[in-house]
Amino acid sequence: MRAVIVAIGVAFLVSLFCTPIAIKVFTRLKAGQPIRSDGPAMHQGKKGTPTMGGVVFILATVIAYVAGHLALTTLPDLQIAQVEPTITALVLLGLMVFSGAVGFLDDFLKVRKRNSAGLNKRGKLLGQILVGAVFGVVALYFPSTMTDATGAKTNTETVGSTTLSFIRDIDALEVSKIGAVIIFIFVVMAATNGVNLTDGLDGLATGASVMVLAAYALIAFWQYRHWCADPSYTQDYCYAVRDPLEIALIAGAAAGACVGFLWWNTSPARIFMGDTGALGLGGLIAGMAMSTRTILLLPIIGGLFVIITMSVVIQIISFRTTGKRVFRMSPLQHHFELAGWSEVNIVVRFWIIAGIGVAIALGLFYSEFLANMT
């Protein structure tokens, strides 16, 4: 627990104090956010606000991960595979960094062209598929090599699984490794686009992501305390996952980094996360769902992202089939802007919705464990 707390604190402080530096740097570089001409009129006042702020909390998460591992080396009696960097960390941080890199390219093109077009849809889609495929292969084809004192392997789990999962793996829903990689890619695409569509109001996506990442930190730490590979855990009902402490550490670090960034990102935002941050967070959240074996729980944990994504899907289907729009504008947050709600009201109310989804998901997760222990 000490290492997770260290990672959270370091990430928060790095993000909190480095974000103002990023604001000055991106302002000097004239990396201002272009605003859609067909968007809500009140957004025109945000034109020129520096973007690509996601670089800060992505970097803060990586630094905090290193700090957390330094803290782990001071703790006695830990499994050596938890002290040394793992494939799990490579997958999770890799998804965050490289998904963020796709978003950075999009933001860079927006700034360079001085319009909101950026990277075309096909290019962004290919980037998401490539990132998901590379780390999906790593997650499915590289099992753990943790060994006990006698040299026997005690945990041969991979980061991802060849079965679909809800609270844990569902054995009846097993697929091939290739099928599992395809599912991995789909989850990455869904999560990155979900967070990206939610981004659009000051602090909205950042605050919602804090809740989701905090939930995954709690889930992963609970799995670590009831881990099948832990020789000190004698109960039969345990979690067959790989490196849960790593997952908790990274989720906590990312949540702490987002809180530090949120200090400067709340209305009126002094910097936007941009697609750099939105895609980076989405990639990490996708990795959390895969590594904790809670894929089908993700739509509940990230309920707000699902609702906002579905508003876009409904709008497109309705307009293409009937020529009519269901919402005044999509994504959903802009519908309420045009309905007269203030930006702060929308953000706070949507945060409440996000919190409800997280609370329901955590309730399902813990109740499943308690039900099987009684």
Q: For position 149, what pLDDT does the model report?
A: 45
Q: Taking residues 7-27, what's their average pLDDT?
A: 96
Q: What is the DSSP letter of 165?
A: E
pLDDT tens digit sequence for 2-15: 889 999 999 999 99
Listed in sequence order, the residues at least 6 apart from 56 whose beta carbon sits closer than 8 Å to its beta carbon are: 14, 15, 18, 19, 22, 257, 261
Q: What percent of the chain has pLDDT above 90? A: 74
- Model confidence pLDDT, tens digit, residues 85-113: 889 999 999 999 999 999 999 999 888 87
pLDDT score, position 80: 44
Q: Are 256 and 9 in contact (CB under 8 A)?
A: yes
For CA atoms 58, 332, 185, 321, the dihedral sign is negative
DSSP three-state, residue 33: coil
- In this prediction, residues 238-248 reach a mean pLDDT of 93
Compute the distance between CA of residue 252 and CA of residue 9 in angstroms, rounded to an integer: 9
Residue 38 is predicted with a pLDDT of 59
d(CA 144, CA 242): 7
pLDDT greater than 90 at residue 43: no
Q: How confident is the model over 280-316, as pLDDT tens digits? A: 999 999 999 999 999 999 999 999 999 999 999 999 9
Among the listed ranges 65-74, 142-151, 177-186, 307-316, which one has the minimum average pLDDT value?
142-151
**231 prior amide bond cis, ω within 30:** no
295 neighbors 136 (Cβ within 8 angstroms): no
- What is the rounded distance in angstroms from the CA atom of residue 344 to the CA atom of residue 347? 5
- Under 8 Å CB-to-CB from 206, ≥6 apart: which residues? 258, 261, 262, 265, 273, 277
**Residue range 121-149: mean pLDDT, rounded:** 87
43/340: higher pLDDT: 340
For residue 166, pLDDT over 80 is answered with yes
pLDDT tens digits for range 174-216: 999 999 999 999 999 999 999 999 998 999 999 999 999 999 9
Determine the pLDDT at residue 78. 54
SS3 103: helix
Q: Consult the annotation and say whether 169 binds a ligand.
A: no
Query: What pLDDT, on a 0 to 100 scale, did the predictor assign at position 236?
Result: 76
Structure tokens at 5: 């707390």
State the average pLDDT over residues 122-142.
Answer: 95
What distance in Å separates the CA atoms of residue 274 and residue 257, rounded to the nearest whole number?
Answer: 15
- The values of phi and psi at residue 146, to 5°, are -60, 135
Q: 153 or 17: which carries more pLDDT confidence?
A: 17
Task: State residue 81's pLDDT score.
Answer: 46
Both tokens of 214, joined, read 């905090």
Among 130-139, 213-222, 228-237, 257-266, where is mean pLDDT lowest?
228-237
Beta bridge partners of 190: none
Residues forming beta bridges with residue 155, ordered by sequence position: 146
For residue 331, give both structure tokens. 């994504």
Run of H or E including 354: helix 343-373
Q: Is residue 336 a contact partner of residue 346, using CB atoms and an 8 Å limit?
A: yes
Check whether 273 has a pLDDT greater than 60: yes
Say if CB 226 and CB 235 are below 8 A apart: yes
145 pLDDT above the threshold of 80: no
Instruction: Reply yes or no on whether the pLDDT at 150 is more than 60.
Output: no
d(CA 264, CA 56): 12
**Mean pLDDT for the stretch of residues 125-129:** 95
Q: Which residue has the tokens 């919190």?
A: 355
For residue 27, the one-letter residue type is T
Q: Which two tokens stand for residue 222?
A: 């609970």
CB 215 within 8 A of CB 363: no
Q: What is the pTM of this model?
A: 0.93
> What is the average pLDDT value for the chain, to the nearest integer?
90
Q: Determine the Cα–Cα distance for residues 124 and 113; give it in Å rounded to an integer.
A: 17
Three-state DSSP state, 320: helix
Q: How confident is the model at residue 155 (pLDDT cuts 50, 70, 90)?
A: low
CA distance 281 to 268: 21
Rounded CA separation 344/126 (Å): 35
Q: Which residue has the higher pLDDT, 236 or 56?
A: 56
Q: How many CB atoms lie within 10 A of CB 111?
A: 21
**Do the annotations mark residue 275 as ligand-binding?**
yes
